[in-house]
Amino acid sequence: MSQTIRTGATRAADIPRDMLHALSHGELESATLAECLAIDQAVLARAVFPGLAPSALHAIDAACQLGVLKRMARIGAILLEALGTEGLTQCQAHGADMVRGWACFMIGAQPGLDVKARLAAIRPLADDAHFGVREWAWMAVRPYLVAELPTALAHLMPWTQAPSERIRRFACEVLRPRGVWSTHIDALKKMPGQALPLLSALRADPSAYVQDSVANWLNDAAKDQPDWVRATCAQWLEHAPTGATQRICQRALRNLR
């Protein structure tokens, strides 16, 4: 049963037992968020890495008691410590989206990477065909980019011109001031203008996927700096009133009208 020919369950309670078994054994990609969150990651780790040491398995079992983002981060760190770069390569190439999600957090846990190297490592996963892997990708590296915000913004600028809409969307989504499931970025809540060059580069993007991210970024900022968001949208609409820009601004201002 492939992801392309099924709708997927929208509630965990609706997932058939055989499908849940396949998801938790890495035999099937999730088709919805509900399926993704229903995966038993302790079972999945044993299925994918049957040779893991008991100490690593015990640590993964403990990690599964955490919230979803902390769970992913902890399992990524455990796998990196236990398996090293060889394990990262195996996870990154695996057919199960959750396993590739672990690869995202293994990259996040890698010590000694500067912003440029970490972004280069996460780029293939940021461009993954699966929606869930793309979300794990930005969540996994976000804390490291926030810690070096000016450098991160500079290195993300070329991503806004990438042929892939997934890469362009990542460039915006990864530093949303109030990102979903993630710690807020106080520096951007106080001074969102730091990200204006990056946002402006995407203000007329033809992809609705990117447009929604830019609009949501601005909607986040509007909760703390509404006047800045109004002024930014007014300037964009005055100087570049494309259909894409109009759509972005309409969605960005939806809670200020």
- Span 7-63, pLDDT tens digits: 677 777 788 999 999 999 999 999 999 999 999 999 999 999 999 999 999 999 999
What is the pLDDT, as a whole number, of residue 240?
76
What is the pLDDT, as a whole number, of residue 212?
98
Q: What's the chain look like in SS3?
A: CCHHHCCCCCCHHHCCHHHHHHHHCCCCCCCCHHHHHHCCHHHHHHHHCCCCCHHHHHHHHHHCCCCHHHHHHHHHHHHHHHHHHHHHHHHHCCCCHHHHHHHHHHHHHCCCCCHHHHHHHHHHHHCCCCHHHHHHHHHHHHHHHHHCHHHHHHHHHHHHHCCCHHHHHHHHHCCCCCCCCCCCCHHHHHCHHHHHHHHHHCCCCCCHHHHHHHHHHHHHHHCCCHHHHHHHHHHHHHHCCCHHHHHHHHHHCCCCC
Residue 203 lies in a domain: yes
Which residue bears the tokens 């396993």?
A: 99
**Is residue 2's pLDDT more than 70?**
no
What is the pLDDT, as a whole number, of residue 218?
98
Which residue bears the tokens 């983002």?
A: 69
Residue 46 lies in a domain: no
- Span 152-211, pLDDT tens digits: 999 999 999 999 999 999 999 999 999 888 899 999 999 999 999 999 999 999 999 999
Residue 36 lies in a domain: no
Which has the closest alpha carbon to 3: 127, 103, 96? 96
Residue 199 lies in a domain: yes
Supply angle C-alpha 126, 82, 69, rounded to 5. 45
What is the pLDDT, as a whole number, of residue 7?
64
Residue 148 lies in a domain: no
Residue 253 lies in a domain: yes
pLDDT mean over 205-234 = 97
Length of the chain: 257
What is the pLDDT, as a whole number, of residue 13?
78
91, 124 contact by CB (below 8 A): no
Write out the residue range of the structural domain in which residue 240 sits: 186-257
Residue 85 lies in a domain: no
Give the pair of three-digit tokens for residue 68: 């979803």
What is the pLDDT, as a whole number, of residue 6?
59
Residue 235 lies in a domain: yes
- Span 94-113, pLDDT tens digits: 999 999 999 999 999 999 99
Supply angle C-alpha 3, 48, 128, rounded to 5. 40
Q: Name the band, by pLDDT with cuts 50, 70 and 90, for residue 1.
A: very low
Q: What is the CATH number of the domain that holds 210?
A: 1.25.40.290
Euclidean distance between the first and final Cα of the chain, in Å?
A: 45
Model pTM score: 0.93
Tell me how many domains the chain contains: 1
